[in-house]
Structure 1
Amino acid sequence: MNEPTGVENEGAGASGLGEEPQREPGLTTGAEPEPPPEVGSGILRVFGRQLKRFRMRAGLERPEFASMVGYSVSTIAAYEQGRRIPPPRLIDQADEVLDAGGVLLEMKEEVAKAQYPAFFRDAARLEAEAVELHVYANQAVPGLLQTEEYARAVFGMMRPPLDEDAIAQRVAARLARQEVFAKRPAPLMSFVIDESVLRRPIGGRGVLRGQIEQILLAGQRSTVEVQVMPLDSEENAGLAGPFTLLETAEGRRIAYVEVQNVSHVHTERRLVKGLEVKYGILRAQALTPQASLNYVEKLLGER
């Protein structure tokens, strides 16, 4: 696989942790911390009011409408009040069942953006458009490789704690990002993962086993390479923390870095080039892709 030509990473944590960042002077792009969209961003409130208006126009009580679309009454209430992010399937169903004439569908894209913390929305868009994506992780499994159970455990460990609705929404958003694997043509992806990440039982040993299985399956894709950075390696160029590199179809090279609640999207060539060089060194220091898969398979056998 080619050396990284582009850059970006996975918000909701370059590390896969999903912390909320703060601006730091002197870097290309930072993001101020904002209240998470789950608490009711503008588009969610607008969508909720429109959903309720069309339901009432159709002469449907909330329980009746909930039954028609297959959701609980409390969930529909949360959507109408702008407290939860409606999934695309619900929007499609609601527009048809309520004969909304495409009004609800027109808000679908903006509603989808609200599933990500404000600081990661630009990164999520870039990630979805990337033709190459390269990730170094030394704190947690990269978000693009996380299982649902592992992601839920990661978000459940955040402090201050997230409420259950927020955790559910963040998990759903993280899993939705993994649709990038189904793109045609699929982007070229590589992951260098520190061995400590594969041994840290976040969520419990059962959750870790399922996570290791998913990493093994991902590494067997023709467009994906997984490399392990051994704990006993005497050289490691990535001690400064995780990061992601990406390249868009237009040839834009971007880097995404998120550590200790500080998140940045870098576009300045000097900064991006430095991380590209670092990633190349990390790949050289890590086990080869085949040796890494053999190691992951061996680790799975130990569980």
Structure 2
Amino acid sequence: MARAENKETAGPATRLVAHIARLMRQRKGLTQTEMGVQIGFSAAAVSAMETNAQPASDEMLVAMERTIGDDIGIFLAARDYVRLDKYPEQFKNYALLEQEAMGLRLYATLVVHGLFQTKAYARALIGGGYPPLSDERVDELVEARMTRKALLERDPVALIEVILEESVLRRTIGSPEVMRDQLLHLAECAKRRNVTLQVLPLDCGLLGEYAGARGEMEMVETPDHNHLVYLEPQDESLLISDPAKASTYAQRYAKIRSQALGPRESVGLIERLAGDLE
């Protein structure tokens, strides 16, 4: 069910798409019911989209391009921008940087990084968060998170390094079955030529050195080869562009990486943990 509060909080792309869709539908002399039949959605879904109560899904945008878009390409072009509207407010600006990044170095300490989550894991994680979200909002956020995976297939390819705390792999999210599939997915992702996955073991601090003590970080290399650092503590966001500060984070990341298991050892550990959940 569409949410009434969306009408007040809908983003600019969502509002623009709704306005254009309504104009194009009326130009073709279609009722909401008739348009719904043509695009495979209910009249209620069309109404929710046009009134900003529910942002258009990727599937709806593709269907509208095919039926009322007149081959202009406007609804297809709108997909990226409508997706951005669905992200949490603190993440929207960084999402653009992530999509365009030439390289990412990621360190995750609590849960699997969003780029590498399965749909079931993401749904369990988002649906079980606090404050509680409506089922419709959970669906929106899961869909938006899954679309981020396009970065893994993009041309030109993005080079991605990700370091996961071992505790991330041992923390069951959703169910043992969901977690097992998530671990196996990580092992498959690690086989990509543009992905390097390492695990920081639980015992890495035995000798008194633990470089990851200050928490998660994401480092981005932009198409212009600028280096930025993104932090997101407790639903707040911080983007660091100062070269000296970014350099400090890069050095810290290098130290974390030096304390992590090698890529082959890391995949071996992930596969063993997945086997334990059978």
Structure 1 residues 107, 214: closer, same or farther in 2, change over 3 A? closer
- Whether 1:252 aligns to 2:226 is yes
In structure 1, distance between residues paired with 2:119 and 2:65: 29
Greater CA drift, 86-95 or 228-237 = 86-95
Greater CA drift, 55-64 or 215-224 = 55-64
In structure 2, distance between residues paired with 1:230 and 1:114: 37
Question: Displacement, 1:108?
Answer: 4.8
In structure 2, distance between residues paired with 1:124 and 1:99: 27
Question: Displacement, 1:152?
Answer: 1.0
Structure 1 residues 36, 45: closer, same or farther in 2, change over 3 A? closer
In structure 1, distance between residues paired with 2:235 and 2:80: 27
Matches within 5 A, 1:97-246: 97-98=67-68, 102=72, 104-105=74-75, 107-234=78-205, 235-246=209-220
Structure 1 residues 109, 196: closer, same or farther in 2, change over 3 A? closer
Structure 1 residues 99, 171: closer, same or farther in 2, change over 3 A? closer
Question: Displacement, 1:39?
Answer: 3.9
Q: Which runs of 4+ in 1 moved over 3 A?
A: 35-39, 99-110
After superposition, the C-alpha distances for 1:212-266 in whole angstroms (9 at most, x for unaligned) are 0110000111111111111122232112211101112211101101112221111
- The one-letter amino acid of 1:123's match is Y
- Whether 1:71 aligns to 2:41 is yes
5+ long unaligned stretches in structure 1: 1-34
Aligned residues: 269
Contact kept? 2:7, 2:51, Cα under 8 Å: no
Structure 1 residues 53, 103: closer, same or farther in 2, change over 3 A? farther
Query: Where is the helix percentage greater, Structure 1 or Structure 2?
Result: 2
Which one of the candidate residues 47, 58, 83 is aligned to 2:28? Answer: 58
Contact kept? 2:6, 2:54, Cα under 8 Å: no
Question: Displacement, 1:124?
Answer: 1.1
- The one-letter amino acid of 1:246's match is V
Question: Displacement, 1:107?
Answer: 4.7
Instruction: Give the RMSD, CA atoms, in angstroms.
Output: 2.2
After superposition, the C-alpha distances for 1:72-120 in whole angstroms (9 at most, x for unaligned) are 3332222111122213442243244225573853655543431222322
Structure 1 residues 232, 36: closer, same or farther in 2, change over 3 A? farther
Greater CA drift, 102-111 or 194-203 = 102-111
5+ long unaligned stretches in structure 2: none
TM-score (norm 2): 0.89
In structure 2, distance between residues paired with 1:123 and 1:296: 29
Question: Displacement, 1:268?
Answer: 0.6
Contact kept? 1:193, 1:228, Cα under 8 Å: yes
After superposition, the C-alpha distances for 1:6-54 in whole angstroms (9 at most, x for unaligned) are xxxxxxxxxxxxxxxxxxxxxxxxxxxxx98994224323322332232
Corresponding position of 1:24: none
Corresponding position of 1:282: 256
- The one-letter amino acid of 1:60's match is L
Structure 1 residues 164, 39: closer, same or farther in 2, change over 3 A? farther
Question: Displacement, 1:203?
Answer: 1.1
SS in 2 for 1:161: coil
- Whether 1:262 aligns to 2:213 is no
Which one of the candidate residues 16, 19, 27 is aligned to 1:46? Answer: 16
TM-score (norm 1): 0.82
**Percent identity between the two aligned chains:** 30
Contact kept? 1:47, 1:82, Cα under 8 Å: no
Contact kept? 2:198, 2:266, Cα under 8 Å: yes
In structure 2, distance between residues paired with 1:89 and 1:243: 33
SS in 2 for 1:120: helix
